[in-house]
Amino acid sequence: MQAFRAHLIHSPERGRIERIEDALVSFDDTGQITSVAPGDSAPATMDLRARGVLLPGLIDLHIHAPQFPQLGTGLDLPLEDWLFKYTFPLEARFANIAYARGVHDRLVRRLLANGTTTAVYFATIHDASCLDLARTCLRLGQRAFVGRVAMDLADSCPEYYRDADAAASVSGTARFIEAVRALPQNALVEPIITPRFIPACSDAALEGLGALAAETGAAVQTHCSESDWEHAHVLSRTGKTDTAALDSFGLLNRRTVLAHAGHITGADMELIAGRGAGIAHCPLSNAYFGNAVFPLRRALAKALHIGLGTDISGGHSAFLLDNARAAVTASRMLEDGTDPEKGAAERGAAGSRIDFRDAFYLATKGGAEVLDLPAGAFEPGRQMDAILVDLQDDFGPPEDLLQKIIMRATPDEIVTTWVAGRAVSGKDRPPVQSV
């Protein structure tokens, strides 16, 4: 049993921010919070009050681990060209396990330093690199969902980087699920079924993966209605939207994470809400590849589960708060509109904006809701995943502190990151061996 004495800020529900001065958060050896009480109610194992403010750890719902080396490049191309010119050649390099190990070690350390306590990853099509990513998360102490990417369709995947056939996509995924579940002392990492996106997968692969989802109960992730090209491609191939097609393949359920979803229809939203699936909103990536602004407020109004994703490297930042800011900015542009030639009244979509409070919720408890994960807030029964933030050059009133953290904190100002009550980055972390 441990207990941290600290000033806390969290968002137990969207739109509600709770700030607790001098609290005592107690948690057990598995990292589960047992109580949140006044600071002087019992002795603390650590007193953080003079060192910053404690927030729930950040939850990044969409990361391509093998794309970390190209972060910040190639975004001048449309998605379908970027994949062939930059991304598939880079991901193919992960056949070299020594190369994969180096990237994974640096990525997971970077994300922990940036305050990401839970990460949802696309890995590659290679068994060894996928398993190495899962092991790296375990070794460095990050909570994660790791997916072996399934992509078998010759028309949309290069010859040098695809599964041999649908059966290989399904059996490779099944093997990976078993391997992750068999990792010793694994309380942090789960496998996730990962058809790359419908254009890259045959109907047989998608059906097989849907059956595997039912059989194994594993979570599911994919890209959904990301761009004009992608959305139209799926419509012409299947006669359905991505959402409806995924549903018909058995891939839309309470444990599904749909990345982007910028072009989903009203009917898609109803279907997603009905299945309890969730959306990884990736506003930075969407600005480059999305061709439109995701109607976040409309989706929230339909009670969809929504969190945030960096989409490394479709987005150019490995810091989830950059996406929290981008979510606010994109929503403001959607509300006001973009064409000054039009009059103010007809330029935008009224009622589209979110603010920093909503963005904070999406980055923490909203992400947890998507994953059905007990984390994202300081409440009994949830995991002690947290970040200590110390804003430098902060002179303003205390009530502005959260706004400043969400809108302008830098990774340097994240002093320590804890996952399951264990310090995994920053000053309080014991050294972890490198690869």
Residues 6+ apart with CB under 8 A from 229: 78, 79, 80
Question: Binding of Fe ion at residue 311 (CB under 5 A)?
Answer: yes
Question: Binding of Fe ion at residue 230 (CB under 5 A)?
Answer: no
Q: How far is the CB of 80 from Fe ion (least distance, A)?
A: 13
What is the dihedral angle through the alpha carbons of 124, 214, 268, 332, rounded to the nearest 10 degrees? -50
Rounded-to-integer distance, Cα 19 and Cα 21, Å: 6
Q: How far is the CB of 80 from ligand GUN (least distance, A)?
A: 9
Q: How far is the CB of 87 from ligand GUN (least distance, A)?
A: 5
Residues 6+ apart with CB under 8 A from 410: none
Q: How far is the CB of 223 from Fe ion (least distance, A)?
A: 6
The entry of ligand GUN, Fe ion, none that residue 196 binds, CB within 5 to 8 Å by partner kind: ligand GUN
Report the residue number, 161 or 289, with the smaller CB distance to ligand GUN: 289
Q: Which two tokens stand for residue 420?
A: 């399951």
The entry of Fe ion, ligand GUN, none that residue 226 binds, CB within 5 to 8 Å by partner kind: ligand GUN
Report the residue number, 5 or 196, with the smaller CB distance to ligand GUN: 196
Q: How far is the CB of 61 from Fe ion (least distance, A)?
A: 10
Report the residue number, 29 or 76, with the smaller CB distance to ligand GUN: 76
Helix intervals (H) in 276-363: 283-285, 296-301, 320-336, 344-347, 356-361
The entry of ligand GUN, Fe ion, none that residue 126 binds, CB within 5 to 8 Å by partner kind: none
Nearest Cα to 327, choosing from 267, 373, 386, 281?
Answer: 281
Question: Judged by CB under 5 A, how many residues of this single chain contact Fe ion?
Answer: 1
Q: How far is the CB of 325 from ligand GUN (least distance, A)?
A: 19
Report the residue number, 33 or 252, with the smaller CB distance to Fe ion: 252
Nearest Cα to 203, choosing from 174, 231, 239, 177?
Answer: 239
Q: Which two tokens stand for residue 256?
A: 């599904």
Question: Binding of Fe ion at residue 91 (CB under 5 A)?
Answer: no
Rounded-to-integer distance, Cα 67 and Cα 88, Å: 9
Q: Which two tokens stand for residue 358?
A: 């909503």
Q: Please report, as ranges, the residues that interact with ligand GUN according to CB under 6 A.
A: 64, 79, 83, 87, 196-197, 223, 226, 285, 289, 311, 314
Report the residue number, 27 or 94, with the smaller CB distance to Fe ion: 94
The entry of ligand GUN, Fe ion, none that residue 87 binds, CB within 5 to 8 Å by partner kind: ligand GUN
Q: How far is the CB of 423 from ligand GUN (least distance, A)?
A: 32
The entry of ligand GUN, Fe ion, none that residue 288 binds, CB within 5 to 8 Å by partner kind: none
Nearest Cα to 117, choosing from 143, 145, 136, 146?
Answer: 143
Q: Which two tokens stand for residue 225?
A: 């209605």
Report the residue number, 27 or 249, with the smaller CB distance to ligand GUN: 249
Q: How far is the CB of 245 from ligand GUN (least distance, A)?
A: 15
Report the residue number, 116 or 285, with the smaller CB distance to ligand GUN: 285
* Triad 217, 246, 153: Cα angle to 5°: 100
Handedness of CA 254, 255, 261, 264 (dihedral sign): negative
Report the residue number, 192 or 406, with the smaller CB distance to ligand GUN: 192
Rounded-to-integer distance, Cα 367 and Cα 383, Å: 14
Rounded-to-integer distance, Cα 308 and Cα 284, Å: 10
Residues 6+ apart with CB under 8 A from 67: 87, 90, 91, 312, 313, 314
Q: How far is the CB of 226 from ligand GUN (least distance, A)?
A: 5
| Binding segment toward Fe ion, per CB under 5 A, in 133-141, 164-172, 230-238, 303-311 | 303-311
Report the residue number, 26 or 169, with the smaller CB distance to ligand GUN: 169
Output the residue with the shortest Cβ distance to Fe ion. Answer: 311
Residues that bind Fe ion (CB under 5 A): 311
